[in-house]
Amino acid sequence: MSNEEFPLLSDLKKGPWPSFVTEIEKTAEKKPEMRDLLKQLERSYEDKITYWKHGGIVSVKGYGGGVIGRYSFLAKECPGVAEFHTMRVNQPAGWFYTTEALRTICDIWEKYGSGLTNMHGSTGDIILLGTTTPNLQPCFNELAKNGWDLGGSGSALRTPSACAGPARCEFACIDTLDICYELTITYQDELHRPMWPYKFKFKIAGCPNDCVASKARSDFAIVGTWKDEIKINQEEVKKYAEAGVDIKGQVVDNCPTKCIEYDEEKKEIKIDNSNCVRCMHCINVLPKALKPGDERGATILMGGKAPILEGPVMSWVIVPFMKMEPPYEELKELSEAVWDFWDENGKFRERLAELIERVGMMAFLEAIGVEPDPRQIKEPRANPFYFWREEDLKPRTDPWEIWRKAEKEM
Amino acid sequence: MSNEEFPLLSDLKKGPWPSFVTEIEKTAEKKPEMRDLLKQLERSYEDKITYWKHGGIVSVKGYGGGVIGRYSFLAKECPGVAEFHTMRVNQPAGWFYTTEALRTICDIWEKYGSGLTNMHGSTGDIILLGTTTPNLQPCFNELAKNGWDLGGSGSALRTPSACAGPARCEFACIDTLDICYELTITYQDELHRPMWPYKFKFKIAGCPNDCVASKARSDFAIVGTWKDEIKINQEEVKKYAEAGVDIKGQVVDNCPTKCIEYDEEKKEIKIDNSNCVRCMHCINVLPKALKPGDERGATILMGGKAPILEGPVMSWVIVPFMKMEPPYEELKELSEAVWDFWDENGKFRERLAELIERVGMMAFLEAIGVEPDPRQIKEPRANPFYFWREEDLKPRTDPWEIWRKAEKEM
Amino acid sequence: MASEPFEEEYISDIGPPHYEKMLPPVIKKNYGKWAYHEVVKPGVLVHVAESGDKLYTVRVGSPRLLSIYTIRELCDIADKYCDGYLRFTSRNNVEFLLTDESKIDALIEEVEKIGFPVGGTWDATKAKYGLSNIVHTQGWIHCHTPAIDASGPVKALMDALFDHFKNMDLPGLCRISLACCLNMCGAVHASDISLVGIHRTPPSVDDDVVRRTCELPSTVASCPTGALRPDMKNKTIKVDESKCMYCGNCYTMCPGMPLFDPENGGVAILAGGKLSDARSPARLSKVVVPYLPNNPPRWPEVVDTIKAILETWAAEAKPHERIGEWIDRIGWEKFFEKTGIEFRVQLIDDFRQPRHTFRATTQFRW
Amino acid sequence: MASEPFEEEYISDIGPPHYEKMLPPVIKKNYGKWAYHEVVKPGVLVHVAESGDKLYTVRVGSPRLLSIYTIRELCDIADKYCDGYLRFTSRNNVEFLLTDESKIDALIEEVEKIGFPVGGTWDATKAKYGLSNIVHTQGWIHCHTPAIDASGPVKALMDALFDHFKNMDLPGLCRISLACCLNMCGAVHASDISLVGIHRTPPSVDDDVVRRTCELPSTVASCPTGALRPDMKNKTIKVDESKCMYCGNCYTMCPGMPLFDPENGGVAILAGGKLSDARSPARLSKVVVPYLPNNPPRWPEVVDTIKAILETWAAEAKPHERIGEWIDRIGWEKFFEKTGIEFRVQLIDDFRQPRHTFRATTQFRW
Ligand code: SRM
Ligand code: SRM
Ligand code: SRM
Ligand code: SRM
Ligand code: SF4
Ligand code: SF4
Ligand code: SF4
Ligand code: SF4
Ligand code: SF4
Ligand code: SF4
Ligand code: SF4
Ligand code: SF4
């Protein structure tokens, strides 16, 4: 493209960071209709407004989601993007790929789509960015034939995603990839056929470092952790110390509960595990020397979401600890119990957090069969405004009877 | 009284702590009608219910408050307390008394009332506990003749109260007694004639130790503080150290911002005042050595209240620092601005905190003429859901015009 | 701003006596010029002025409910030892103010003889804290809304905790408060430990009384959870019992709907609040026991629970560390474990937007 | 739970390929048995298995929006150096996975030659942190609700902050995110620094479009502040502009009421969020700048503000201390003072029950 034609966008080809403009341009060389994307985009840059129309329902046979319909206000001026739908392709857990797999996707998308992608969307999908309505079904068919399926959209389960976990991380306390795959496969129907009050997201992180942003970005976050003692290799502690790591300053002083003691002479670490909150910091800094314990499982947190409607939510601890072993029956039962409750009680476009807040944590925990635990709360309530159920109470007495009797006396 | 007659209450005469039952009994010896109070109370102890009726409006001429009307359900059985109204007498600031003053009150209350008191009520008043309707006016008249007046009740200003402050405390940064007196005298009308949506309380504490619970118990809390540097007397630091005070453990380690350094050798303290949050702890522990700075004034916090309706509130910083010099014009202007706003916007039985929350802090600050300051907040909002006023904006443009123009092009 | 008096001679709106009239000479002289204080012994403070003058204070526990006959006795003592000056504290203790150190012991002897114990002080320099008086309310002695008595539980508790009042043997300040209903006349919502009378059943509506004494719209509007509906036909009010959390606000508005239920009302225990900004910021108390039975005359379940909290904390806290600060350090899960208090579902907030009380981190202890 | 396929041969509901098919042999062999990792140099990690096997990772920055032609080039490189294995990260970087250490430098050279920079790693052991990629959304490239573009501001920012991507020269982890509207498709609400497109004027209702395309009751109900009223007569919707805080939720429900206003829309900056529970608990980001203008192509006001935050923090933070943790230590008042950001009244929460964001203590700094 000439800089004169798209001066604003051209400016964004400069500089050291790889440029999305260059990517579009590169595509336009092979697929000239993508010049219309540049054209529309330049116009947006000039006018500071989107030129995409609101929504548009398109899909493939049998599915209620997986495609985001998109039409342009500039259809006349930019016919190449008059229709520009996105397909969400369900990524392999952990975003590991063979080049063969990637090339297959590229080939299909060269044939049926714009040739532009997002690797990846915020939820985790492979985003195939821009195609026309007629191309949707053949594209899907060919993806499916090659072993790929669509991810979620709409009021459905959304594509679960997971951190690298045991595939490439020494900190993983649970098998994030396997859990991710298992949930995705088990709940294909929930993923493809929107039948709920609103969207629902799973994310799986192998440890509290949360490399997949599960706590903020999923209604149901599965975060690896452990219950027993941190494993210490004192030899390696010594080596770190000798290599110049300031164990007192970097580790001990940063422990949130100050439960680590360091013997400067012996170069040994002692941890009071009853006060450890499993924050990972010491393990992060000294990965050779410290490891999560052996009694591993996950904390289940629920309700994470963006601000619309009731403000942003970091997900809340619901099950402090759950063992995570295939086929993850307990996990599945729990999610199904949550969906049952949500189905029955959720309002249209009400996320799980909002539902829990509306009906109260007591009703929610009871419905999903989880016991109350102080680990679910940051602090107990400051208002003594709570409910009792008939079974908590003795038979009722009426104050009027007592008073009237008293008034009549003598 | 015989233990057989009031066995439950009699049990409460035992034990080392002075007994309220003994106090009532002692009164009943001189004023036999107070046996009826014991009788009714024993009955409450048996039946676990109050025998006082709901409310009852009684007052003295010209006043809308200061008396809490009270009638018994056991009027027949306990005629001595059939009517049992309370008079709230405005205490002298700081609860200092001459015996002469106290004796005057006792004499008047012996004549017109039950002889029972609370020294003092939670708001701060002298509570004269229990008299009849006919006695109210003469009792008030005699109190007034002797220089006493009633305190507040109902939807009015409530009796302000103050800690001992400069009268007996080295920590006082403001003249709590004088401010208390000045506000009380200036706002006699507001105190005696309920004209507001609900009650309004002032409390004045000389320093952040808050010995008068102002932050929790008043809509408008005035808390002494300082802006400049803590004054250090290193000689006295040394003496404390030599006397065995563990300055590192007790003081340095407890400083919330860790802004104190202690030189163990020189036995000297250094404070990074730019990080001091004026919590008082170091000064509390080393009162001879450390003192609040010289630039003194008050933090004004608003909204403190008990849980009904919207949950309990610890009052919120509104003015981080205000000079406090007689005649406290700025302070009075601020309270009057608050009342004006409350008067205009408050709903029936809506406390200040609830009003602020309902209309928003932005509207409130603007109405009372206080600038926004990060010291007013614990943290900024997490939701980007805020308002703009016409004057913040440029002339508006309409997206439809832009799009329609674009759609028609070519 | 004082308004016109009603008639020529009617004295009103004079306000309280000026505080200066009540101050002993040593205070007037050294007003605002105190240099420091020390705790001479439990119950006895000395404030030293820049001038070198000394003011001694002897603090005396009081049941707050005082007969005028007792007040006169206290005045006699103040006349004898204190030139007629004394004060009360914000926690309802009595303070004798004197300048002659040699009179202290005799004063103490005399005041304890009439049954008033000396104590309730604390010494921050030495990190020795005495337990002070319990701030409380009216209860069955005067109020129409109490779920429990006030003076009775306070007496039972202070008897049980008496040694701490006398001995300055606690690691940090501990403030106990009581309120007899959720109106919380006091600082129950911001005390280290507090107890509050609670109802557990919805209002018992007497249609007749409602018709006679209540304003329907404002009563209906008074319910924070929207549990009330006007029954226009019968000119009364209907309660949706499933929405009522027994706050009693409707009863405050309308005498026709009391919540009393002797067998179901009782006590909630709160903990961890503080008012001072010393070290950590002031904070609200949190409900730790949603219900204990209302058991006069000595409320043993309440006394035992509070003792358990207080003694566990006292044994574990670091110097100066208050209950809330101790919990900050050990975590709520350990608070429940160590005190043996059962964590019940009612402790989880479900009022308004409770989200900031939920735990949004995997950080916790086992 | 998969449902019946539509027709005999229609393939659906097969889910994604099994992850095992995508893993290089060294991972399959050492799956779950990694012993530790080290940062070889910026952009290069080594994971060492209990077996002693080593896996090298070369991390490469990506604009996320990739053409299939670029993906093929990346595949070519992976074929050449990595036996055909690569992955993407949760922040949209590309990671080349290889076992032969000697190939690393050539790989880096080749990938940088096609314009993809190596970096974005961090080394907790050494407390040297690189800045990683900015998680972002669609913007004007694909979405119908953006108040700003997404890829453009990200490009401008990454150019400005490029050295931090390359150099691991920050004291702690710093995650930047962008969302083009308040729907916040991403973790803007929990990032160290984030920018979000905001509207500042109420919806422009086109009655005609509303009539044609919108369901009135659900649109009216969608407004969190109750600013909408159905106009039954005209079958459209009225906006009470004084109640609208421009969230855009109504537009999501109803195409007839866009909020776009090119001169008034813009960017809000948030700061202090984090996702990991390392050291301090995860927490939400807080709005620190309520509005900056929408200024393509390089959003200089946004870039400058973010640089000011980032560089001030980088200069002042202790090792490992993230922006939110730094603010915990210095206080919000100092954050505004040090960064030079003006504290504006919009930053004070007034949504729902904002009380827990108000300061209820006299503790603050001057
Ligand atoms: C494509 C993607 C952004 C991206 O560029 O990566 C995206 C794009 C849209 N999101 Fe999103 N969201 C995407 C991840 C998210 C995330 C992040 C996540 O899932 O981890 C969030 C925040 C977490 C959460 O769910 O709260 C998110 C919160 C929203 C919301 C917020 C409302 C809510 O509380 O759910 C909406 C509004 C809605 O649902 O109506 C929304 C709506 C939308 C829509 C469908 C627009 C709309 O109003 O209907 C966007 C379509 C854009 C387009 O034309 O392509 N999107 N959206 C992400 C999905 C890609 C993928 O499948 O991998
Ligand atoms: C006497 C006293 C308790 C005591 O034993 O000390 C008291 C007694 C009553 N209070 Fe109180 N309040 C008393 C201090 C307080 C305080 C503490 C304070 O002022 O420092 C509070 C908590 C702080 C606050 O204001 O939030 C307090 C919060 C309430 C409430 C709570 C509702 C609210 O948010 O205001 C009510 C309910 C009401 O106003 O309808 C209430 C109502 C009442 C009523 C009038 C009962 C009623 O529902 O109408 C009580 C009359 C009892 C009686 O028959 O004697 N009282 N009340 C205190 C006043 C004595 C004095 O003047 O010195
Ligand atoms: C007399 C009294 C003020 C009054 O006007 O009546 C008072 C007097 C003193 N307070 Fe207080 N405080 C008094 C109620 C309070 C209250 C209010 C309350 O309890 O409801 C508080 C807030 C309690 C809370 O935070 O929940 C209070 C929190 C403090 C603190 C902060 C302690 C802390 O670690 O949090 C100090 C500092 C200290 O310990 O030296 C303090 C310090 C003091 C000093 C040392 C100030 C001085 O130099 O004179 C006084 C002697 C205390 C002692 O016994 O050693 N005073 N003090 C009150 C006595 C009440 C009583 O009878 O026990
Ligand atoms: C590759 C990736 C996981 C994935 O499945 O894709 C990953 C990989 C690692 N993370 Fe992460 N994290 C990844 C996203 C995240 C995220 C999510 C995000 O940024 O949205 C977080 C949470 C961010 C937050 O808290 O806001 C994250 C917070 C951490 C932390 C906690 C750091 C802290 O101080 O808070 C560690 C611990 C550490 O620093 O060693 C960590 C540690 C690690 C380790 C050291 C784990 C390991 O031993 O393999 C990995 C190497 C990091 C490096 O560059 O040195 N990872 N890490 C992600 C790389 C993203 C990128 O391209 O930059
Ligand atoms: S979340 Fe934990 S297990 Fe997963 S990649 Fe990050 S550090 Fe490793
Ligand atoms: S994991 Fe965190 S809390 Fe536990 S010992 Fe390590 S640093 Fe401390
Ligand atoms: S609040 Fe401060 S000034 Fe007032 S008595 Fe307490 S310590 Fe002294
Ligand atoms: S007043 Fe508090 S914050 Fe300031 S130096 Fe002393 S202990 Fe530290
Ligand atoms: S707390 Fe309740 S019952 Fe007790 S005095 Fe106050 S209003 Fe009455
Ligand atoms: S007690 Fe409270 S919640 Fe129950 S009906 Fe009355 S006002 Fe409503
Ligand atoms: S953040 Fe908003 S504008 Fe951006 S992609 Fe998501 S929904 Fe669209
Ligand atoms: S933009 Fe949000 S606040 Fe404004 S009218 Fe629409 S839904 Fe309501």
How confident is the model over B135-179, as pLDDT tens digits?
999 999 999 999 999 999 999 999 999 999 999 999 999 999 999
Asked if C186 contacts C136 with a C-beta cutoff of 8 angstroms, the reply is yes
Asked if C360's CB is within 8 angstroms of A365's CB, the reply is no
β-pair partners for C95: C59, C87
Q: Does A41 touch chain D (CB under 8 A)?
A: yes
Query: Which amino acid makes up residue A179?
Result: I
Please list, in sequence order, all residues whose beta carbon lies within 8 angstroms of the beta carbon of residue A408, skipping any fewer than 6 positions away. none
Identify the helix (H) or strand (E) that includes residue C49. Answer: strand C44-49
Q: Which residue has the tokens 């010393």?
A: C278
Nearest residue to B353 (alpha-carbon basis) of A263, D355, D136: D355
* Mean per-residue pLDDT over chain B, rounded: 97
Asked if C354's CB is within 8 angstroms of A361's CB, the reply is yes
Nearest residue to B24 (alpha-carbon basis) of C142, C360, A58, C127: C142
Q: Closest ligand 7 atom, CA of B284?
A: 7
Q: Which residue has the tokens 């008079």?
A: B87
Closest alpha carbon within chain B to A307: B383
Asked if B285's CB is within 8 angstroms of C14's CB, the reply is no
Report residue C8's pLDDT band, with 50, 70 and 90 as the boundaries.
low
Work out whether strand B231-232 and strand B260-263 pair parallel, antiparallel, or are unpaired.
unpaired
- Contact residues, chain B, for D351 at CB < 8 Å: 381, 383, 385-386
Report residue C269's pLDDT band, with 50, 70 and 90 as the boundaries.
very high
The reported pLDDT for the residue numbered B3 is 63
Asked if D353's CB is within 8 angstroms of C277's CB, the reply is no
Work out whether strand B231-232 and strand B290-291 pair parallel, antiparallel, or are unpaired.
antiparallel
Prior bond of C136 cis (ω within 30°)? no
pLDDT in tens, B279-324: 999 999 999 999 999 999 999 999 999 999 999 999 999 999 999 9
The reported pLDDT for the residue numbered A410 is 62
Answer yes or no: is pLDDT of D9 > 90.
no
pLDDT in tens, A137-189: 999 999 999 999 999 999 999 999 999 999 999 999 999 999 999 999 999 99
Residue A362: phi, psi to the nearest 5? -60, -50
Worst-scoring range by mean pLDDT, A55-59, D112-116, D299-303? A55-59
Average pLDDT for C102-128 = 98
The reported pLDDT for the residue numbered A218 is 98
pLDDT in tens, D341-351: 999 999 999 99
Report the alpha-carbon distance of residue D141 to residue D150 in Å, rounded: 8
Task: Select from C285, C330, C359 the Cβ nearest to the Cβ of A376.
Answer: C359
Report the alpha-carbon distance of residue D167 to residue C70 in Å, rounded: 79
The reported pLDDT for the residue numbered D1 is 42
The reported pLDDT for the residue numbered D156 is 98
Closest alpha carbon within chain B to C69: B27
The reported pLDDT for the residue numbered C1 is 42
Give the ligand with the smallest distance to the CA of D189: 1
* Mean per-residue pLDDT over chain C, rounded: 96
Query: Which amino acid makes up residue C20?
Result: E
Cβ within 8 Å of B, C 146-165: 146, 149, 151-152, 155-156, 158-159, 162, 165
Asked if D360's CB is within 8 angstroms of C281's CB, the reply is yes
Q: Is the CB of D185 under 6 A from ligand 1?
A: yes
Asked if C135's CB is within 8 angstroms of B314's CB, the reply is no
Please list, in sequence order, all residues whose beta carbon lies within 8 angstroms of the beta carbon of residue B346, skipping any fewer than 6 positions away. B196, B197, B198, B352, B355
The reported pLDDT for the residue numbered C2 is 46
pLDDT in tens, C133-189: 999 999 999 999 999 999 999 999 999 999 999 999 999 999 999 999 999 998 899
- Contact residues, chain A, for C357 at CB < 8 Å: 377-382
Q: Closest ligand 6 atom, CA of A254?
A: 7
Task: Tell me which of D275, D279, D353 to substitute to probe the interface with C (most C C-beta atoms closer than 10 Å).
Answer: D353
Contacting partners of chain D (3+ CB pairs under 8 A): A, B, C
β-pair partners for C197: C267
Task: Select from A225, A276, A384 the Cβ nearest to the Cβ of C196.
Answer: A384
Which residue has the least CA distance to atom 18 on ligand 4?
A: A211
Within 13 Å and on the Cβ side, how many CA atoms surround B240?
30
DSSP secondary structure, D298-333, as one string = T-HHHHHHHHHHHHHHHHHPPTT--HHHHHHHH-HH
Q: Does A63 touch chain D (CB under 8 A)?
A: yes
- Contact residues, chain C, for D353 at CB < 8 Å: 352-353
Task: Select from B41, B118, B167 the Cβ nearest to the Cβ of C64.
Answer: B118
Please list, in sequence order, all residues whose beta carbon lies within 8 angstroms of the beta carbon of residue D6, skipping any fewer than 6 positions away. A61, A62, D12
Nearest residue to A183 (alpha-carbon basis) of A154, A220, A214, A150: A220
The reported pLDDT for the residue numbered D4 is 52
Q: Which two tokens stand for residue B14?
A: 């035992």
The reported pLDDT for the residue numbered A250 is 97
Prior bond of C297 cis (ω within 30°)? yes
Residue A270, SS3? strand
DSSP secondary structure, C229-280, as one string = EEETTTTEEEE-GGG-----HHHHH-TT-----TTT-EEEEEE--B---SSS
- Contact residues, chain D, for B321 at CB < 8 Å: 366
Residue D273, SS3? coil
Answer yes or no: is pLDDT of D2 > 50.
no
Q: Closest ligand 6 atom, CA of A258?
A: 8
Answer yes or no: is pLDDT of B2 > 70.
no
Nearest-CA distance D271 → chain A (Å): 14
Please tell me the distance between residue D220's alpha carbon and the centre of ligand 12 in angstroms: 9
Nearest-CA distance C288 → chain A (Å): 7
Q: Which two tokens stand for residue B266?
A: 């020189």
User: Is the ipTM beyond the 0.95 threshold?
Assistant: yes
pLDDT above 90 covers a percentage of chain D that reads 97
- Contact residues, chain B, for A77 at CB < 8 Å: 406, 409-410
Work out whether strand C193-198 and strand C176-179 pair parallel, antiparallel, or are unpaired.
parallel
- Contact residues, chain D, for A189 at CB < 8 Å: 1-3, 13
Q: Does A410 touch chain C (CB under 8 A)?
A: no
pLDDT in tens, D136-181: 999 999 999 999 999 999 999 999 999 999 999 999 999 999 999 9
Please list, in sequence order, all residues whose beta carbon lies within 8 angstroms of the beta carbon of residue D288, skipping any fewer than 6 positions away. B380, D269, D270, D271, D272, D309, D335, D336, D339, D341, D347
- CB-defined contacts A:C, below 8 A: 187
The reported pLDDT for the residue numbered B4 is 80
Asked if B49 contacts B66 with a C-beta cutoff of 8 angstroms, the reply is no
Please tell me the distance between residue A223's alpha carbon and the centre of ligand 5 in angstroms: 9
Q: How far is CA A152 from CA A182, A200, B122, C203, D354, in A?
A: 16, 9, 60, 49, 34
Answer yes or no: is pLDDT of C43 > 50.
yes
Closest alpha carbon within chain C to B149: C15
Query: Which amino acid makes up residue A105?
Result: I
Report residue C6's pLDDT band, with 50, 70 and 90 as the boundaries.
low
Task: Give the largest Cα separation in chain D, rounded.
Answer: 76
Closest alpha carbon within chain B to A73: B407
Helices (H) and strands (E) in chain C, counts: 11, 14
Q: Does C308 touch chain A (CB under 8 A)?
A: no
Say how many Å lie between the first and final Cα of chain C, rounded: 61
H helices present in B128-275, as ranges: 133-145, 176-186, 188-192, 214-217, 234-242
> Which portions of chain A are predicted below pLDDT 50?
none
Within 13 Å and on the Cβ side, how many CA atoms surround B237?
25
Q: Which two tokens stand for residue B125?
A: 């008043």
Asked if C355's CB is within 8 angstroms of A376's CB, the reply is no
Report the alpha-carbon distance of residue C298 to residue B11 in Å, rounded: 8
Report residue C21's pLDDT band, with 50, 70 and 90 as the boundaries.
very high
Q: Does D347 touch chain B (CB under 8 A)?
A: yes
Residue B299: phi, psi to the nearest 5? -95, 135
* HEC-encoded secondary structure of B174-212: CCHHHHHHHHHHHCHHHHHCCCCCCCECEEEECCCCCCC
Answer yes or no: is pLDDT of B409 > 90.
no
The reported pLDDT for the residue numbered A65 is 96
β-pair partners for C87: B96, C95
The reported pLDDT for the residue numbered B127 is 98
Within 13 Å and on the Cβ side, how many CA atoms surround A219?
22
Asked if C111 contacts B21 with a C-beta cutoff of 8 angstroms, the reply is no
Work out whether strand A220-226 and strand A268-271 pair parallel, antiparallel, or are unpaired.
unpaired
Positions of E strands within B35-159 = 67-68, 85-89, 96-98, 116-119, 126-131
Average pLDDT for B27-37 = 97
